[in-house]
Amino acid sequence: MRFARRRLGLVVVLVLVLVSAAAEAAGRWKKAYYRATVPGAFARSESVNTANGDVSEYTSTRLADEEGKVVLETRYELKTGQFAGTKGVNRYVLKAGFPFAAEGPGWMRGVEQGQASAPDGTVVDMDETTVAAIASGATDYGSLVVFKGTEEVAGKVCDRYAYTHGAGEQKVDGEYWMNDSVPFGVVKEVLSGTDATGARYRFETKLVESGVKPEIAK
């Protein structure tokens, strides 16, 4: 009887190990990494294409909610390269009830409305077809990521994740270093693959500045 109980215990442990491994393989974030992204929160990052040295800057901001819906603004500027000086602004409204804090970088799956700046600086509304395409085409990073451990990046303790999306020429490999006390959660990101011309790219993006400006949310 004692031997039978011991065997049963070993079986239970083995099952728990297999379930844990399956859960890791299935993905999903360990935390709600965007919990600190409250109205007024912002994060500014610098991205370098290590394949050619081109530099870009990105700023994400959470504006005041509209009727209980999360509103986000993203700004970008190409600092170097052929298109240096190019700037743009996009604004998005997410669906009511969308789990923004838990979705992390996959938040674009919840886009319900959008606006974008035209080359002359005017802002135009995105039509329903465009918005639907953005939401349906957005990557569900939570379903892809695999937890790789904990590391310190720029003085912040981060959870590191890796993922692969697509296959063949469309294959993209990425890594995220996440911290749930930082607005927009991402302290570092590495993205690599092949572009439409067949050239390899590797973007390394690092957080430069973040915080909360209450006046933005008014």
Q: In sequence order, what DSSP letters do the residues of 41-95 get, joined into one string?
A: EEEEEEEEETTT--EEEEEEEE---BTTB-EEEEEEEE-SSTTTT-EEEEEEEEP
Please spell the DSSP secondary structure of 147-164, one letter per residue: EEEEEEETTEEEEEEEEE
Of 164, 160, 159, 152, residue with least CA distance to 192: 164
Evaluate whether 88 touches 75 at the Cβ level (below 8 Å): yes
Please tell me the predicted confidence (pLDDT) of residue 101. 97
Task: Determine which helix (DSSP H) or strand (DSSP E) holds 195, and give its type and residue range.
Answer: none
Which 3 state secondary structure label does DSSP give 13?
helix
Encode the chain (218 residues) as per-residue pLDDT tens digits.
444 444 434 333 333 333 333 334 446 899 999 999 999 999 999 999 998 999 999 999 999 999 999 999 999 999 998 889 999 999 999 999 999 999 999 999 999 999 999 767 788 999 999 999 999 999 999 999 999 999 999 999 999 999 999 888 889 999 999 999 999 999 999 999 998 888 899 999 999 999 999 998 87
DSSP state of 199: -
